[in-house]
Structure 1
C-alpha cells in the first residue's frame, strides 16, 4: 500500500459499511457479504440501462454503491437519500472518489417534485418491503419520473399463490426478516400494481427461485399437511429485481380519479 492508501484504510476502519466499494487497487470498504447477492441484480440492471445524461434518484442509498455505479455509467446528476445517512460516504467516499453524488438524510415520503424535481431514473432497492404504505410509495415514485423515466426496483417478495395478485403484510413479530420488514408483494401483485400506475415492466428476475415467476410453487409434504388441517403453509420469500419504464396505465381514467380525487355517484 502507498502511504495514502494506508491512511485511507485507517479512516475507513473507523466506520461500518453495508456495501463493498473499491476506492483504489488495494483499498475497499468492508461491507456485509450476505447482502452481495441481492446487490448483484441491481448492479446488472444499472449496466443494462442507458443512464448517460440522466438525473438519477437513489432511494435508500446507504454507502452509495448504486449511486457511484450510476455516475460511472454517465448519469449527469445523482441524488441519494436515506433515512439513516452514511457518514462514511459523505465524509470519506464522495471526496476520495471526487464524486458529484449528493446525499441527504431524508424519508422517502417527504419527497415531492418540489424537493429535487423529476428524474429520468430511480433506483429503489432494498426499501419497498420495509414500508407500511407501499402503494403510496410506488405512486409517489411514479409521479417523480420524467416522461422518459425508468426505475430499477429490488425487494423481498412472497412466492406463494402467484396465480393471484396478493400482498403478505405481517406484523413485526411475524416478519420473515426482521421487525421493519412488513410488506411482501407476490410477483404478480407487484407487476399488476406497477401497470396500473403506468409503469411497464421490461425485465424481471428472482434471485433464488427463477423458475417460480410464472407458477405457484409445489407444496412439500409439511405444507400439504398444514393446508389439509386448515393452516397456512410456510411462506416462500425470495428477492426480486425488475426494471420498468413509464407508459400508459392499465387502470382506467375513471378508476384513477376515484383513487386520487373525488367522484360523482350516478
Structure 2
C-alpha cells in the first residue's frame, strides 16, 4: 500500500514536521509538554518506554533529545487512527524507535530508565496492576498523566459508562494520594507534579474543591528502593508482572 499523505491521516498528536507543516491533531503537544512534565526529563543517554504512545510524539521527541533507545507501546485496535500517524512520523523523522503492539498488563520483559504512562490509567478497569507494572519496568523514573484529582485520601472514583465526555472507555479517576501510595509500595518517591488549575485566580484556586470527574495532573516519581508490594497474585484481576517475577514464577 502506498504511503499515506499527512492530510489522509486521522491525527491525535499535533506537531510540526521538519518541512514546517503541522499535523492536524487535537492537542498542540509542543505547547503543552509542561503539563506532562516531559520538558523536565533528562533524556540524554536514557532508555525509555512510552506506554500508550498513539502517534508517538513523546517517543520521537525523546529520541531527538538524546534518548539512546525508545520503545513505543500501544494497541491501535482500541483507539481510532490506527498506526498511520506513528508510521508516517517514524519515516519522516527517520526514527530508530521500536514500535510494539502490547498492553500495560503485559509489558516487555525488560526494564527501562524512564517509563512514560500518559493518558492511560483512567481507561483501565485494573489501574493498580497497571501502575505496579509501570513502576516495576522503570529503573529510574516513571511519569503518569491523566485524570488525577488532588486529595489526601488514597481513593478511586468510579465513572459510569459515558459519564465523562460521553466516552465509555473512561472508567476511573484517582487521587494524588492514591498514586503516591502505590508509588511508595514500589520503591518510588514523588519528585515533581503538575496540576491543571482551571480557576482564574489564586484565591479562586485556593477555595476550589477537587473535581474527581474532571481534574488532570502529571506526577513524576524517582526510584529510591527496589520494592515489591506484598500483595498476593489472587488479589488482582490481572497479576502484575513485577509480583510474579519477585516470586520466581
Task: Please state which band the TM-score falls in when normalised by the shorter chain.
Answer: 0.7 to 0.9
Determine if contact 2:14/2:28 at 8 Å carries over to the other structure. no
Tell me whether 1:207 sits opposite 2:196 in the alignment: yes
Determine if contact 2:174/2:212 at 8 Å carries over to the other structure. no
* Aligned match for 2:147, one of 126, 131, 156: 156
Determine if contact 1:194/1:200 at 8 Å carries over to the other structure. yes
Structure label with greater radius of gyration: 1
Tell me whether 1:98 sits opposite 2:94 in the alignment: yes
Cα shift at 1:102: 1.5
**Distance of aligned partners of 1:197 and 1:21 in 2 relative to their CA distance in 1, 3 Å threshold:** same
**Per-residue CA distance 1:199-243 (angstroms, 9 max, x = gap):** 21100121125979x988449xxxxxxxxxxxxxx7552110111
The runs of 5 or more residues in structure 1 that have no matched partner are: 1-7, 220-233, 262-266
**Distance of aligned partners of 1:96 and 1:104 in 2 relative to their CA distance in 1, 3 Å threshold:** same
Tell me whether 1:51 sits opposite 2:43 in the alignment: yes
Tell me whether 1:142 sits opposite 2:135 in the alignment: yes
Query: TM-score of the superposition, structure 2-length normalised?
Result: 0.78
Q: Which residue of 2 aligns with 1:245?
A: 222
SS at match of 2:117: strand
The runs of 5 or more residues in structure 2 that have no matched partner are: 77-81, 234-242, 244-249
Q: Which residue of 2 aligns with 1:61?
A: 53
Tell me whether 1:31 sits opposite 2:25 in the alignment: yes
Q: CA RMSD in A?
A: 3.0
Give distance in 2, aligned partners of 1:171 and 1:89: 31
Cα shift at 1:190: 1.5
Give distance in 1, aligned partners of 2:102 and 2:89: 19
Q: Kindly report which structure 2 residues correspond to 1:65-144, keeping only aligned pairs within 5 A, or say none.
A: 65-84=57-76, 85-90=82-87, 92-113=88-109, 117-144=110-137
Cα shift at 1:258: 4.5
Cα shift at 1:47: 2.6
Give distance in 2, aligned partners of 1:177 and 1:257: 37
Determine if contact 2:149/2:217 at 8 Å carries over to the other structure. no
**Distance of aligned partners of 1:96 and 1:16 in 2 relative to their CA distance in 1, 3 Å threshold:** same
Give distance in 2, aligned partners of 1:186 and 1:176: 20
Determine if contact 1:47/1:73 at 8 Å carries over to the other structure. no
Determine if contact 2:148/2:173 at 8 Å carries over to the other structure. yes
Instruction: Looking at secondary structure, tell me which structure has more helix per residue.
Output: 1
**Distance of aligned partners of 1:155 and 1:37 in 2 relative to their CA distance in 1, 3 Å threshold:** farther
Determine if contact 2:190/2:221 at 8 Å carries over to the other structure. yes
Cα shift at 1:36: 7.8
* Aligned match for 1:190, one of 153, 176, 179: 179
